[in-house]
Amino acid sequence: MNLTFSLYRLQTYDTQLLRIKKRIREIDQILQSDAEVAEALKARDEIKAEVDSIESELKLLSDQVHEKHIKAQLTHNALFDGKGRSLKELQDLQAEDKALKRAIEKLENDQLEVTARHDEALVALTDAENHYTETVNRRLAENSLILGEKSNLEAQIPGINSQRKALMNPLPADVIEEYQALFRAKHGRAVAAVDDEFCSACGIELKPSELQQVKSQSLLFKCKSCGRILYYP
C-alpha cells in the first residue's frame, strides 16, 4: 500500500474541509452582525428624535400663542366694556394689551423659526429613511449572495467526507491516529512532500539513506528536523 501518498491526499481533503468550515463560520458572523444596517438605523432614529423634539417645541409655542390670544381678548373686552374704570385702570389695561401684542408677535416669530427647522428636519428624516431602506435592501441582496456561497460550501462537505472515508478505510488505525495528532500539532500540515531532497516544510536536506526510506512509501518516515511525515511525490 502506498501509505504516505494516501496520507498526503487525506491531508488535502482535511485542509479543504478546514477551509470550508472556516469560511462558513465567517459567513455566519457576517449574517449575524450587520454594522452598516445598524448605523443607518441609528442615524434615522437620531433624526426622528430631533423631529419629535422640534414638534413638542412647536406644540408648546402654539399653546402659548393661544393662551396669550385669550388673555388679549379679555383685556380688549375689559377696555371697551363700558364699566366706568378709573384712568389708572384703563392705562394698566392698555399697557397690558400692548405687552400681550408684543409677546404674541415674539412667539409668532419663534414659531416661524422653529417651523423652518422642522421643515429641514423632515427633509433630513426622509433622506435618512430612504438611506436606511436602501441599505437594508442592498445588504439583503449581498447576504443572499453569501447565503448562496454558504450552501455551495455545505454541499461540498459530504463528497469530501466520503473521499476521506474511502482513503482512510484501508489505513491502519494507529497510522490514522498518528497522522491526525500531527495534523493538529502542525496546524494542518502533517505530511510534507520531499522536494529535490529537501523537506518542503522545514527545508532540511535529507541523507541518501533517509531519502531511500521515504521513497519506499510503505512505512512512515518522519523529518528529523520538523517531525512531519515525509512523502516522496
Note the residues at the interface with Zn ion (CB under 5 A).
Answer: 199, 201-202, 223, 225-226
- Between 212 and 225, CB nearer to Zn ion: 225
Question: Do residues 164 and 14 make contact, with C-beta atoms less than 8 angstroms apart?
Answer: yes
Q: At what angle do helices 87-168 and 3-32 cross, to 10 degrees?
A: 170
Q: Least distance from C-beta 171 to Zn ion, angstroms?
A: 22
- Between 49 and 204, CB nearer to Zn ion: 204
Q: Least distance from C-beta 226 to Zn ion, angstroms?
A: 3
Q: Least distance from C-beta 204 to Zn ion, angstroms?
A: 5
- Between 61 and 223, CB nearer to Zn ion: 223
- Between 136 and 226, CB nearer to Zn ion: 226
Cell of 23: 469560511
Q: Least distance from C-beta 46 to Zn ion, angstroms?
A: 59
Instruction: Provide the 8-state DSSP code for 86.
Output: -
For 22-75, give the DSSP string. Answer: HHHHHHHHHHH--HHHHHHHHHHHHHHHHHHHHHHHHHHHHHHHHHHHHHHHHH
Q: Least distance from C-beta 218 to Zn ion, angstroms?
A: 20
User: Residue 195: in which H helix or E strand, if any?
Assistant: strand 191-195
The one-letter amino acid code at 71 reads K
HSE-CB at 197 with a 13 A cutoff on CA atoms is: 5
User: For the chain, how far is it from start to end, CA to CA, in angstroms?
Assistant: 15
- Between 144 and 212, CB nearer to Zn ion: 212
- Between 172 and 203, CB nearer to Zn ion: 203
Q: Least distance from C-beta 198 to Zn ion, angstroms?
A: 8
CA distances from 74 to 2, 4, 71, 84, 94 (A): 109, 106, 5, 17, 12
Cα separation, 232 vs 225, in Å, equals 17
